[in-house]
């Protein structure tokens, strides 16, 4: 929560028009955060802004592709205009080829697209926003997946990109410690989202929980001292969350 009379914290969420990104945007708006929301489709963002209008908070919605350096530059300028960044959530993700192929048969051009979205774009956005994050001693959350560590057949392309993002997160946590920027990666677990449905075309995924199952985790994480969580990889649907002593 924000204190009366204080400047509200600012969060930038990618992939914010639906699924986990939209769920997190709702939580933060309810707690008084100002938001910069981005996604590829303007109609989804417009719906999000309408749904959050009941909260007394400032919301900027910018449609665009995070793989585009020009769009990342636009996001940086907006964040700077709003006074610096407290939280960056790199949530936008690319599943890749669907139905999911074996890694040995994975189309390499598709794999390059997956890496551009899931690894290069998050790093590029952190690079673009480094001084805005440093100004506010901000937190970066990179959204990972259990596919990063499980080696599930068919999930090799997506999983490898998320494993790379995990390493990017840990490395940046070490490199940016002295600059006051904390970095974590978060595996949200299986969720009933459009991305997960695309992984199982034509199948019923109604047994997966909706993204709001992760809300207790986010409420916990965002009230932890940033220095104490930096460098950690969390499972949002884990039974408990701990910070190593």
Of 108-122, 124-138, 143-157, the range with the lowest mean pLDDT is 143-157
Q: How many domains does the chain have?
A: 1
Q: Which one from 55, 106, 115, 158 is the annotated catalytic residue? A: 158
In a domain, 79, yes or no: yes
The Cα 14–Cα 143 span in angstroms is 10
- Joined together, the tokens standing for residue 1 give 């929560």
In a domain, 221, yes or no: yes
Residues 6+ apart with CB under 8 A from 74: 62, 64
**pLDDT attached to residue 245:** 59
Distances (CA, A) of 125 to 64, 177, 194: 13, 18, 23
The Cα 72–Cα 98 span in angstroms is 27
The Cα 6–Cα 24 span in angstroms is 22
In a domain, 243, yes or no: no
Range of the domain at 135: 10-235
In a domain, 2, yes or no: no
Please give the average per-residue pLDDT across 200-214, as a whole number: 82
**Catalytic annotation on 115?**
no
In a domain, 39, yes or no: yes
Please provide the DSSP assignment of 113-149 as one string.
HHHIIIIIHHHHHHHHHHHHHHHHT-EEEEE--THHH
The terminus-to-terminus CA distance of the chain in angstroms comes to 26
Find the CATH number of the domain harbouring 217: 3.40.50.720
For the chain, state the CA radius of gyration: 17
In a domain, 5, yes or no: no
In a domain, 1, yes or no: no
Indicate the pTM of the whole model: 0.94
**pLDDT attached to residue 244:** 67
In a domain, 3, yes or no: no
pLDDT tens per residue across span 118-135: 999 999 999 999 999 999
Whether residue 196 is predicted with pLDDT greater than 80 in this model: the reply is no
Residues 6+ apart with CB under 8 A from 214: 20, 23, 188, 189, 191, 236, 237
pLDDT classification of 159: cutoffs 50, 70, 90: very high
pLDDT tens per residue across span 213-234: 999 999 999 999 999 999 999 9
């Amino acid at each position: 929560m924000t204190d009366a009379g204080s400047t509200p914290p600012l969060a930038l969420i990618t992939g914010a028009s639906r699924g986990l990104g939209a769920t997190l945007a709702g939580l933060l708006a309810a707690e008084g955060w100002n938001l910069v929301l981005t996604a590829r489709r303007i109609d989804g963002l417009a719906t999000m802004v309408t749904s959050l209008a009941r909260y007394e908070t400032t919301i900027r919605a910018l449609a665009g592709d995070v793989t585009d350096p020009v769009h990342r530059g636009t996001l940086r300028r907006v964040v700077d205009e709003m006074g610096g960044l407290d939280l960056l959530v790199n949530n936008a993700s690319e599943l890749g080829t669907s139905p999911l192929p074996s890694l040995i048969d994975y189309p390499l051009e598709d794999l390059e697209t997956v890496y551009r979205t899931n690894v290069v774009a998050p790093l590029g956005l952190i690079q673009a926003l480094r001084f805005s994050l440093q100004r506010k001693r901000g937190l970066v959350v990179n959204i990972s997946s259990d596919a990063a560590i499980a080696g599930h057949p068919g999930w090799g392309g997506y999983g490898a990109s998320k494993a790379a993002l995990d390493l990017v997160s840990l490395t940046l946590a070490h490199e940016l410690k002295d600059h006051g920027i904390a970095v974590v990666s978060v595996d949200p677990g299986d969720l009933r989202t459009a991305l997960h449905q695309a992984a199982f075309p034509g199948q019923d995924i109604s047994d997966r929980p909706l993204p709001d199952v992760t809300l207790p985790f986010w409420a916990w994480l965002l009230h932890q001292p940033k220095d104490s969580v930096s460098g950690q990889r969390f499972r949002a649907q884990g039974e408990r969350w701990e910070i190593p002593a």
